[in-house]
Amino acid sequence: MITTLLLLQAPALAPVDLTSLLPGDPGEKTINIGGRFMEDYSFFSGGDMNAAALGTTFDDGAEVRRARIRVFGDLSRNIAYKLEYDWAGGSANLADGFLKFSTLDGSVMVGHQFEPFGLEEQTSSRFITFLERSSISGAFAPSRNMGVSYWHGNDSHTFGGGLFRDTDKQGKTMDSGWGATARYVFRPVFENDGENLLHFGFSASLRNPDGSADFSARPENHLAPTFVDTGALVADEVLLLGFEGAWQQGPLHGMVEWQQADVTNDMVGGLEPTLSGFTLQFGYFLTGEHRGYKPGHAVWSRVKPTTYALDGNDNGCGAWEVAGRYSTLDLTDAPAVSDKLNSATVGLNWYMNNNTRVMLDVTQAELDTLDTLTIIALRFAFDF
């Protein structure tokens, strides 16, 4: 609760520049420190049939969802670095840890990073519209791994592609799995830094897992148990495909994504399931703002309220946004899954300033043949 009160009073923050602490003449070297903190509360109602089928219970709870510290800056004019660890859960897990080499035609990133797959997964948790990403991102998107990638972007096109090794939360390779992943985005409309935007994209990832692959998802809430899980599928190769669309016209924005996983099993008569899902979301700023957008990696970025709330020098109210989302995840081609997971969410977001946000989500999730679980989730978040 003390943390919550502090968040409500937090001014607009920025990363702290510590370059002056470097010994001697730093030259082109810079060092900055930043971070993010997200505190969640979840309340569950209904879903008794789901609980019985899953062998679990739905218990109200709270958690520190993310508690990250990052250090980033430049080593020279064309070489940048970033190192970020997440301390939520009581142990340090590597988020980003890479070097970035800028060239005339783009940039090369080496280290622990997001694989270029999907719009929602690529967008920072600081800037997504709902508390959690959709169920299809949780099931299919490869997220962060160790590897090397190349990025090129301008106002109309973005391309990212790379080779990656599967790693654990410490950035350590535990098996021989690898993947080749690429994403291309075309923007026929990009005006006023994305205030008016039309965005179409395609992603593909050819993966050679270490003998098996597993796909699972929660009902778009981190404190909820897993609802659908294929278990370990025998897999010699997995092909992930994704299509995405996004648009923005001033305060109105929307996004749609479809993703699919094709599993290849070289055993004679082996099971080769095809799994898929889609998500559709929209949002509207009641106070007239719009979402930020970065064409370099073709992702949503920071919302900047026209006025700040609870700021001694401003009588403003911040930015207010209403949003809705519907997602369907179909893993029923796998023997262990008998029902699709359907989730519908409405959200209300209060951006108090550039760096402080309060989020409220109400989600109804169901498996096809069972009852509906209602989840009310509240988040207090800030970053710097």
Q: What is the pLDDT of residue 4?
A: 46
Q: What is the pLDDT of residue 12?
A: 54
Which residue intervals of 238-383 are DSSP H helices? none
Cβ atoms 347, 320 nearer than 8 A: no
The pair of structure tokens assigned to 190 is 């990009």
Which residue intervals of the chain are DSSP H helices? 2-9, 48-54, 119-122, 135-140
Give me the residue spans of the domains in the chain.
Answer: 2-383
The pair of structure tokens assigned to 257 is 């994504």
Q: What is the pLDDT of residue 174?
A: 74
CA distances from 46 to 52, 131, 369 (A): 12, 21, 15
For residue 76, which of 113, 26, 22 has the smallest C-alpha distance?
26
Mind listing the pLDDT tens digit of every residue in the chain (384 residues)? 444 434 444 455 667 777 776 666 667 789 999 999 999 999 999 999 989 989 999 999 999 999 999 999 999 999 999 999 999 988 899 999 999 999 889 999 999 999 999 999 999 999 999 999 999 999 999 999 999 999 999 999 999 999 999 998 888 887 788 999 999 999 999 999 999 999 999 999 999 998 999 999 999 999 999 999 999 999 999 999 999 999 999 999 999 999 999 999 988 778 999 999 999 999 999 999 999 999 999 999 999 999 999 887 768 899 999 999 999 999 999 999 999 999 999 999 999 999 999 999 999 999 988 999 999 999 999 999
Cβ neighbours around 321 below 10 Å, total: 22
Q: If you count DSSP H runs as helices and E runs as strands, how many of each does the chain have, helices first? A: 4, 23
For residue 235, which of 203, 204, 275 has the smallest C-alpha distance?
275
Homologous superfamily in CATH for domain 2-383 = Porin (2.40.160.10)
